[in-house]
Amino acid sequence: MKCSKCHRDAIIFQRYSGMHLCRQHFIADFEGRAKKVIRKNRWIERGDRIGVALSGGKDSSALLYFLTTLFRDRPDVEISAITIDEGIGGYRDPGMVRSIAESMGVPCHTASFSGEYGITLDEIVRRKGDRLSCSYCGVLRRSLMNRIARNEGITRIAFGFNLDDDAQSVLMNVLRGDVGRLVHQEGPAEGFIPRIRPFQNLPEREVALYAHLHVHGFLERGCPYSHNALRADVRTMLNNYSYRHPATKFALVNLGDELPKRAAGSPEAAGICPECGDPCRGTCQTCRILAEVRQDAG
C-alpha cells in the first residue's frame, strides 16, 4: 500500500484514522501527537529536569529517544534516565539499560530493590507467591523512583505509558468496580514528583514501531510474573473488541480523564510516613508491603 499523504510505500495502517503512512509521515504524525499532549498539559517548561523511567523496554526506550531528540537544542531543559533493578533473575540486565541511556548521551540514575529495601522481587515472590507480584512491584518501584528523582533534583518523571496501558487501567478499574480509582484526583503534593505521560494518546503498536525505527538493543520480552496480572486478560479482551471498534481505547482514556474532573471533592492530601520518611497518601503502601514480607520471613 502507498502512503495516504505521498507516493512512498506505507509502513503502517492506522485503523482508527483510516490512513496508511510511510516512514516519514508516520514519524511526523507520531511525534506531532506526543508534542501536542505535552503542550496541552504544559508538562515540560523552561528549567525542568526530566527523569525518564527507563526499564529498557520498547515504550521507555522510545520515550527517552523522543525527549532527547526534542530537547537536544534546549539548554533550559535537562533529560536523564532513572532505572530500577527489581531483582528478577534472567529478566533485565541493568548494564543493557544503562547502555541505552549512554547511547543517547544522557546520565542514568540507578537503584535496586536489594540495595534500598534489602530484598529482591524474586525473594518477595518466594515468600508471598506470585499472585500479587505486579502490585507489590509497582508500589515499591514507584516509591523508589520518586525517592531517586527527589534526591537528584528532578522536577518531573516521564513514564512511557501508552494509549493501550491507560485504556487497560480504566477498564480494569471498571471491572473491579473501583469507583475510588476512577474518580481519584491526584493533585500536587510536597515530596511527590509530578508524573507525565507524553505517549498517552499513542497506541502500543505505534510506540513499538517508533522504537524499532530509532532504538537498538531494547528489551523485547515481558516480565515473567506478568502472566498472573488482571491486565493480561484485559489486554486480550480490549484488543479483540478494538479490532472491530477502533476508537474504543481513545474513548476509555477520555473517560479516565473526565471522571475525576466531574467528581465532587478535593484531591487527597499527602502526608509523610513516620517510618520511612517518604511522602504518602493515607497508609504508606511501601512500608505495609515490606512489613508483610518481613513478617512472613520471620
Q: Return the amino acid letter for 121.
A: L
Nearest to 81 by CA among 93, 70, 69, 65: 65
pLDDT in tens, 160-177: 999 999 999 999 999 999
Enumerate residues 6+ apart whose C-beta is below 8 A from 106.
52, 64, 68, 79, 80, 81
pLDDT band for position 61 (cuts 50, 70, 90): very high
- Strand partners for 108: 81
The answer to whether residue 108 scores a pLDDT higher than 70 is yes
**Rounded to an integer, what distance in angstroms lies between the CA atom of residue 120 and that of residue 122?**
5
pLDDT tens by residue, 6-47: 999 999 999 999 999 999 999 999 999 999 999 999 999 999
Phi first, then psi, for residue 268 (nearest 5°) are -65, 130
Model confidence band, residue 228 (pLDDT cutoffs 50, 70, 90): low
Q: What share of the chain is helix, strand, coil (3-state, %, to 5)?
A: 50, 10, 35
Categorize the per-residue pLDDT at 220 as very low, low, confident or very high, splitting at 50, 70 and 90.
confident
Q: What is the pLDDT of residue 230?
A: 78
Q: Would you state the pLDDT for residue 180?
A: 84
Q: Domains of the chain: which residue ranges?
A: 1-42, 43-269
Mean pLDDT of 61-84: 96
In the structure, what pLDDT confidence band is assigned to residue 260 with cuts at 50, 70 and 90?
Answer: confident
- Look at the alpha carbons of 270, 63, 39, 150 in this order and tell me if their dihedral is positive or negative: positive
pLDDT at 298 exceeding the cut of 60: no
- Does domain 43-269 fall into CATH 3.40.50.620? yes
Residue whose cell numbers read 513516620:
274
Position 219 confidence tier, pLDDT thresholds 50, 70, 90? confident
Least Cα distance to 161 among 253, 35, 276 occurs for 253
Q: Locate 105 and state its grid cell.
A: 548521551
Beta bridge partners of 112: 85
Phi, psi of 290 (to 5 degrees): -65, -35
Q: How many CB atoms neighbour CB 292 within 10 A?
A: 15
Share of the chain above pLDDT 90, in %: 69
Pair 251, 151: CB distance under 8 Å: no
Place of cell 484485559: 234
Taking the C-alpha atoms of residue 92 and residue 80, their distance in angstroms, rounded to an integer, is 19
User: If you compute the radius of gyration of the chain from its CA atoms, what whole number of angstroms results?
Assistant: 20
pLDDT recorded at residue 237 = 95
